[in-house]
Structure formats: C-alpha cells, structure tokens
C-alpha cells in the first residue's frame, strides 16, 4: 500500500516508508565496498591506498549533487505541502537542468587538474599513476554521479522510495558484475574499478530520467522551466549543510591520511580506507533514515501540521537511539571479519585495521542523532542551523581532534577523533533543537 507524505505517520508507517531508502543507502555502500575489495585483493595495497588518497578530491566535486538533492527536495516538498504542484515541478526541473550544466563544467576543470591535485594530496611514485587513472576516469562520469545523488532525494518526494531502492540495486549489481569483469577477468586494474563505478552510476541515472520525463506521474515530472535565482539560492542554502558535510568529510579525510602517513605510513592509510568503507555501511542506516524522513518533515512544515512535526521528531529520536546500540554492537562483534575481507593476506595490517574499526565504532552511538538533527533543520528549510551543525561536526571538531588526540593517545587518538567530535556535536545539536522548539512548534 502506497504511503503519502500527507498521512499521519505511526512507527509502522515511518519504518515502512523509510526502509527502502535505508536499504538503498546500505546497498549503495556495499557496492562501494566491493570496489575496495576487488582493488585490494586483485591489484594490491598500493593501488588501494591510491584510490583512497584521490577519492576525497572526487567527492569534493560531487558535493553539488548532495546539496541540490537534499536542499532542492526540501524546497519542492514544502511547495507541494503548500498546495502548488505546478511551481514544485518547475523548481524540480530547473534544479536538475542546473546540475547537468554545472556538472559538465566541473568535469572539464577536474580532468585538467587531476595530476597536480594528486601530487598535492601526497601521492608518491607508487601511487601517482593509479591516482590519475582512477580520478580522471571517474570525473568523466561526474554528471551521472551528481544526478544520482540528487535523484535519491527527489524519488522520495515523488513518494517512490521503493522505486529508488530498485534503481540502486540495479546500479549496484551492475557495478559488482563490472568489477569482476574488468579487474578479475580482464585485469585492467584501477581503470576497471573506475569504469565499473562510472557505468553503474550512468545506469542509475538513465532509469529515473525516463521516469521523470513522463508526465503521467502525478507528483513530480520534468517540464519546461526557466532559471530563477531566488529558489536556486534557497535550495542551495537548504542543502548547504549536506554539501558542507561531504565537503568537510573529503577535506578531513585528506588530513586523516596526512596524519596516518606520519604515525603509521601507508598501512595507516589502508586501514583508514577500510574504516571508511565499513562506516559507509553502518552510517548508511542513519543517512537513509534522515533522507527518507526529510520530505515528510518538509511537507508537514509547509502544510502547517505542527502536531505531526512533534510526533515525527519524538518517534525519530527513539528509533535512532535503539539503532545506535545495535549498530555499535554489530561493528564491535564483526570488526575482525570486516577487516579480513580486505586484508586477510597481511597479518600485521589485519591487526591494525581490526583495532581501528573497534575504536572508531564508538562514534556510531552518537552520529545518528547529529545526522538527523542536521537533516531535520534542512527539511524545515533552515539551512543556516543545519549548516552550522554540519560544519562544526564534520570539519571544526574533527580537525581539532585529529591533531590534538594523537599527542595524548598516539595512533589510537586518530581513530578516536570522530567519536570525540560527535560528542561535541551532540551538545550543539541539542542546543539548536531546544532554542528552535517554539519557532517551529515541534516540542
């Protein structure tokens, strides 16, 4: 049975509506992990380190899709809640066309700058060629990458979260098959990993474009529009927190790699790369829930349903609390198994990585609350508060901890940096939720 944005959400309906997006984010993370497994086991640890060294630079350029997708979906769902579907479709179409144009521009810039970028990130002679090959190939698929990130949010606004999951599965399975073909069968190394990712992203974009191009859809569809500065700026402001999150994560990952090269060498970079892959899976649960609930919150905010906002916030905090204990427990129990999937061939590296996963997993107790708080304010079209939470959480606090904690705890201090940053961020999130409760009447 289809669940509409305008309905009252019980726990059952809330879980049922968001579960496709949660599974989609987890599955997307899993097929990203498969890339890493194939590179590590088929090409080697140097190639794996090279991929993880250049990846933050690619993600910086791809943050546009997260910003327009989350910020634009908040604006569009609010506009639908206000009863103006025609305007909502104009805004939706305008934002998609804008993404295509800017994505093409960034592709040209990125392809020409990838070599100095790799050198700036510290790629040595063993890594440079792989960094350039992987980065340049992925950049050729930048438009599908940003569109795929954006469509994940807009399919939820269109009340099609299950369709979004199906698209993600098709894209993910394609990536896995192509990884096996290009790296295991054809043996073309990191080029194969990049091609597999890029082609699967293109597949994941073609399907929703065909869907949204059909005007048979009664909620969202692509239509003629014109570029309007005010809604573009509003969408960007709404989504600035998500852009800051991804931008900050990329910058912070570069700092993590620099510190790890200092304290543990290339083995530390490999271990951190594995942690990031593992973290994508566990954090995907929180991220999927936040993305899945944002259009519901945006709709009821636009419609003035304050009782529903109260209910959604209360239920969400309870669900996240339960999930946080489950996620942390699983990460602790499965730490050695997860590490061995990537580096079972090296006992020393396996020990370092297992220890790192166990320490880093403590952050899962808190991170879900901070992710949801930022997304909650994005859905309320308050980009400033959302951006403040994200900026402090993913950049300021983490940078401080990355440099401060190793002085006290050594290498373990680097693995603890995110947990300490999340604790400080939780205080900030709580303060913003308290001081804004009367403004939005959600508590």
Torsion of CA 79, 84, 90, 96, to 10 degrees: 30
CA atoms of 27 and 21, how far apart (whole Å): 10
CA atoms of 263 and 281, how far apart (whole Å): 27
Q: What is the percentage of the chain residues whose pLDDT exceeds 70?
A: 97
Give the model's confidence band at 215: pLDDT under 50 very low, under 70 low, under 90 confident, else very high.
low
CA atoms of 286 and 371, how far apart (whole Å): 7
CA atoms of 57 and 55, how far apart (whole Å): 5
CA atoms of 170 and 112, how far apart (whole Å): 32
Q: At CA 146, angle to CA 141 and CA 149, rounded to 5?
A: 125
More confident residue, 2 or 18: 18
Domain residue ranges in the chain: 20-440
DSSP annotation of 363: G
pLDDT tens sequence across 62-94: 777 777 877 888 788 888 888 888 898 899 899
> What's the residue count for the chain?
443
CA atoms of 43 and 17, how far apart (whole Å): 40
- With 0-12 CB in 10 A as exposed, 13-18 as middle and 19+ as buried, what is 409? middle
**Highest mean pLDDT: which range of 33-37, 375-379, 418-422:** 418-422
How far is Cα of residue 163 from the mean position of the Cα atoms in its chain?
A: 19
- The residue-averaged pLDDT of 38-56 equals 76
CA atoms of 219 and 21, how far apart (whole Å): 19
Contacts of 120 (CB under 8 A, 6+ apart): none
Report the predicted TM-score, pTM, of the whole model to 2 decimal places.
Answer: 0.71
User: How confident is the model at residue 298, as a pLDDT?
Assistant: 84
Sign of CA dihedral 349, 423, 372, 60: negative
User: How confident is the model at residue 408, as a pLDDT?
Assistant: 93
Tokens coding 234: 């509003």
Contact 226, 218 (CB under 8 A): no
Q: What is the percentage of the chain residues whose pLDDT exceeds 90?
A: 28
CA atoms of 273 and 261, how far apart (whole Å): 13
User: How confident is the model at residue 429, as a pLDDT?
Assistant: 96
User: How confident is the model at residue 216, as a pLDDT?
Assistant: 64
């Amino acid at each position: 049975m289809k669940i509409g944005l305008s309905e009252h959400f019980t726990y059952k309906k809330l879980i049922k509506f968001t579960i496709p997006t949660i599974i989609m984010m987890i599955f997307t993370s899993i097929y990203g992990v498969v890339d890493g497994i194939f590179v590590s086991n088929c090409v080697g640890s140097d190639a794996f380190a090279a991929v993880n060294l250049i990846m933050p630079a690619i993600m910086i350029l791809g943050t546009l899709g997260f910003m327009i997708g989350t910020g634009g979906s908040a604006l569009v769902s609010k506009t639908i809640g206000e009863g103006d579907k025609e305007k909502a479709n104009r805004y939706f179409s305008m934002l998609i066309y804008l993404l295509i144009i800017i994505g093409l521009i960034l592709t040209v810039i990125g392809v020409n700058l990838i070599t100095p970028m790799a050198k700036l990130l510290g790629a040595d002679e063993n890594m440079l060629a792989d960094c350039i090959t992987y980065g340049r190939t992925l950049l050729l698929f930048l438009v599908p990458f940003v569109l795929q990130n954006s469509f994940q949010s807009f399919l939820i606004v269109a009340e099609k979260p299950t369709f979004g999951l199906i698209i993600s599965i098709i894209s993910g399975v394609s990536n896995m098959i192509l990884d096996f073909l290009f790296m295991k069968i054809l043996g073309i190394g990191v080029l194969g990993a990049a091609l597999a990712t890029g082609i699967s992203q293109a597949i994941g974009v073609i399907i929703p474009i065909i869907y949204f191009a059909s005007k048979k859809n009664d909620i969202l569809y692509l239509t003629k529009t014109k570029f309007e500065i005010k809604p573009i700026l509003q969408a960007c402001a709404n989504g600035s927190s998500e852009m800051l999150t991804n931008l900050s994560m990329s910058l912070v990952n570069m700092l993590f790699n620099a510190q790890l090269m200092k304290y543990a060498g290339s083995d530390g970079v490999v271990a951190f790369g594995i942690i990031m892959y593992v973290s994508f899976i566990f954090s995907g649960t929180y991220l999927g829930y936040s993305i899945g609930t944002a259009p519901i919150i945006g709709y009821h905010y636009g419609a003035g349903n304050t009782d529903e906002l109260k209910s959604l916030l209360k239920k969400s905090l309870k669900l996240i609390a339960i999930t946080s204990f489950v996620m942390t427990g699983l990460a602790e129990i499965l730490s050695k198994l997860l590490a061995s999937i990537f580096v079972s061939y090296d006992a020393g590296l396996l020990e370092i990585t297992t220890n790192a996963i166990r320490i880093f997993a403590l952050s899962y107790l808190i991170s879900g609350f901070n992710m949801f708080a930022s997304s909650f304010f994005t859905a309320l079209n308050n980009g400033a508060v959302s951006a403040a939470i994200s900026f402090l959480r993913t950049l300021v606090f983490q940078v401080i901890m990355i440099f401060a904690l190793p002085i006290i705890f050594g290498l373990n201090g680097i693995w603890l940096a995110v947990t300490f940053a999340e604790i400080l961020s939780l205080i900030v999130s709580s303060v913003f939720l308290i001081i804004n409760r009367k403004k939005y009447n959600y508590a």
